[in-house]
Amino acid sequence: MKSFRQELWFEVPTRRAFINITPKIEECLRESGIKEGLCLVNAMHITASVFINDDESGLHADYEKWLEGLAPHAPISQYQHNRTGEDNADAHLKRQVMGREVVVAVTDGRLDFGTWERIFYGEFDGRRRKRVLVKIIGA
């Protein structure tokens, strides 16, 4: 069995964003040389997410509206976490809803996706450098 590990770094200039990172993950898979196995992709920061869904702008706008309804950023005084001097409690909650990681099967050297599935990096407290771990194991 082989193992491949790489870190991807992101610095999103806005507070929130959804970035299709599928091409970067496919590049990692090609570099790994693994043809059959599993690919783990996880956000290494507690205010960011990795998730799978459709790459459609209307859906991204719906996510933004839905997440802001669940955990609005303002007023920041509504969150106990923000009493520590932070202003990102909402980002922690949004990450919890969207998830930390995804695992995708690797079959015949390709990510074994459903028709419209793509991997996204979800940023909920941007404007600083954060990383995503890619770990691929298999043969």
Tens digits of per-residue pLDDT, 60-103?
999 999 999 999 999 999 999 999 999 999 999 999 999 999 99
**Tokens 């996880």 — which residue?**
42
**pLDDT band for position 8 (cuts 50, 70, 90):** very high
Strands (DSSP E) contained in the chain are: 2-11, 17-20, 37-43, 48-53, 101-107, 110-111, 118-123, 129-138
Architecture of domain 2-138: Sandwich (2.60)
Q: What is the pLDDT, as a whole number, of residue 123?
A: 98
Q: How far apart are CA 1 and CA 138, in angstroms?
A: 5
Average pLDDT for 123-129: 97
Per-residue model confidence as pLDDT tens digits over 15-65: 999 999 999 999 999 999 999 999 999 999 999 999 999 999 999 999 999
Q: What is d(CA 106, CA 9) in angstroms, rounded to the nearest whole number?
A: 23
* Whether the Cβ atoms of residue 69 and residue 63 lie closer than 8 Å to each other: no
Cα(15)–Cα(12) distance, rounded to whole angstroms? 7
Q: How many residues does the chain have?
A: 139
Instruction: Tokens for 127, please give them.
Output: 């404007």
Share of the chain residues as helix, strand and coil, in percent rounded to the nearest 5:
30, 35, 30
Say whether the peptide bond before residue 75 is cis (omega within 30 degrees of 0). Answer: yes
